[in-house]
Amino acid sequence: MGFAPRATAPAATSPNRRRGAARRRFSVLAATTLIAGLTLGAAPGGARGDSSPPTAPGADTPAKSPVAVGYGGAVSSVDPDASAVGIRVLRQGGNAVDAAVATAAALGVTEPYSAGVGGGGFFVYYSAEDRRIHTIDGRETAPLSADADLFLDADGKPIPFEEGVTSGLGVGTPGTPATWDEALDTWGTRSLAQVLEPAERLARDGFTVDATFRQQTADNQARFADFPASAELFLPDGELPVVGSTFTNPDLAGTYALLAKRGVDVLYKGELGRDVIRTVRKPPVRASATRVVRPGDLTRQDLRSYETRRQAPTRTGYRGLDVYGMAPSSSGGTTVAEALNILESTDLSKLSQRDYLHRYIEASRIAFADRGRWVGDPAFEDVPVRGLLSQRFADSRACLIKDGAVLTSPVAPGDPRKPGAGCDSGGVSAPTTYEGENTTHLTVADKWGNVVAYTLTIEQTGGSGITVPGRGFLLNNELTDFSFAPANPAVHDPNLPGPGKRPRSSMSPTIVLDDGRPVLALGSPGGSTIITTVLQTLTGHLDRGLPLVDAIAAPRASQRNAATTDLEPGLWNSPLRRQLEAIGHTFKQNPEIGAATGVQRLPDGRWLAAAETVRRGGGSAMVVRPTG
């Protein structure tokens, strides 16, 4: 894949710096031991699932490994083709921002059910030049005509959730192309055309279908069959794609070529936008389809008025480190930070595994109670970010946690605007509303020390199910992240729809600094389980001493202020479940929670990239040079 560098010099030319005295508590010994052996078995290059469907010869796919260590930069994503695109950009002189956008565009080809041109996301960037964290909120927005009744029927009752998902009604104004453009214009060293070229070629030449892609297609088969453009692209001749075959998307290649030639205005002010609007307002449904497919009200004005937001990140101190995340409209940064602040007073490294999980679950439960009450789009809601991030507020909530006893959900929220001296639980409780569990995340570092953590999405697996005819990408169903109605009418819900409003997100791209320099970056897909995945990975690595790839691979629990806690099979089938049930926890099994990726800066200056060993068939971690 060709990649022609711009004539201009890289914007970020900061040399690698030796880190100051380490204050962190994560295990250097564990990381060193892992690097010395690297005995983890990589998932097969063509398998992201356990089923054994029909196979056929396909395109060459880079080898897949969940961990890589080396120099010159690193990329970690769910897909080896996408990670390879990012590595190629780094090898040819691009910086972390260039590589992140190129990787994201490639994921739009190989992970079209998770992200793409029709979606949005959150971009967190560490600049080695100014040693600061910067963020872009590229979340989708509701039409300007939307109000709190967006998902209510004529009788004032919420419509069925599925009718909101598979519809034009749930489609928000896409923010992903604007995010790419903003990131490249502000911090990149390459043009949009240059970083889209590898993904355009990948879409044209194709990638190898694996078991996960086939399974995700099967999960959406009935929906896709009802939309001719989706059926033609993903179900050729009415059949599922064969594992090992080559999947091409010439329409998406054409869309990338159009964006490269005309810029993102072709979406927000031009012909691509007109096609999106037409599809949303009159979804092209198969004549014999029986499902209810509601139209949306997206207009030219909605597209023309879309803007990304540059805003300050969230920050909290934890174990002597600085943990940065995404501020609202995402709830990820505030909720992860509050949970960490709640756990700060407990030495998790000395607890038994049962007691560690108990504390982690209860901190998650409390933080989600506060998230539900206080976090929404700050352009519409008075979000007390400073209070949610304060240690004083966390201390007033941490005292609710008792050894040997379990809180009853839904836990009432506290008031971060005026935390009391005692335990704070004076609010009215409300359950957490549902949020879809798909998305994708990528993490990138370069030779100058710049780092990107970028989470992007079209919401559900397969988004709305509606492909824009002739354009090769699915539209999001992001507006279903709004509350359809207040979970508790007695409690103000900051996440009701509004004109131009961003729905609350759980995306949690996270960068951890030690003395102003990055030591860790990570994130995950998974809807509201993103928050708990990032939290559990952070505490597993920083407190429990697990190497990053093992912290990512560890079996997960996810508590989101619900009556039951989700457990993956590794914990469900463990004696730990019975030990936790003995003190009052209740569980339900979830086959898979999240799919994290991360990068870590090692003491000797090398980068370690880590991804999943099993979930979604295993991720893809790569470095520019394995040796110096």
Give the integer Cα–Cα distance in Å for 238 and 244: 18
CA dihedral 308, 98, 598, 453 (to 10 degrees): -20
Output the six-digit token pair for 487.
């979970």
| Residue whose structure tokens are 């030319």 | 13
Q: Kindly compute the dihedral angle of the four CA atoms of residues 86, 89, 93, 99, in this order, to the nearest 10 degrees.
A: -50
Buried b (16+ CB within 10 A) or exposed e, 448-459: bbbbbbbbbbbb
One-letter amino acid at 540 equals G
Residue 256, phi then psi, degrees to nearest 5? -65, -40
Q: What are 618's two structure tokens?
A: 């295993």
Q: What is the DSSP letter of 349?
A: G
- Rounded to whole angstroms, how far apart are CA atoms 430 and 488? 5
Give yes or no for a contact between 181 and 194, defined as CB atoms under 8 angstroms apart: no
Rg, Å, the chain Cα set: 23
Residue 266: phi and psi, rounded to 5, are -65, -25
C-alpha neighbours within 13 Å on the C-beta side of residue 449: 21
Question: What does each C-alpha distance from 70 to 67, 86, 290, 487, 518 come to in angstroms?
Answer: 10, 15, 54, 49, 16
**DSSP strand pairing (67-77 vs 607-611):** antiparallel
The catalytic residue among 176, 439, 455, 533 is 439
Q: DSSP secondary structure string, 356-395? A: HHHHHHHHHHHHHHHHHHH-S-TTTS---HHHHH-HHHHH
What the block records as the tokens of 73 is 């930069």
Residues facing 524 on adjacent strands? none
CA distances to 134, 362, 395 from 410, rounded to whole Å, are 34, 12, 20
Whether 39 is catalytic: no
Just list the catalytic residues: 439
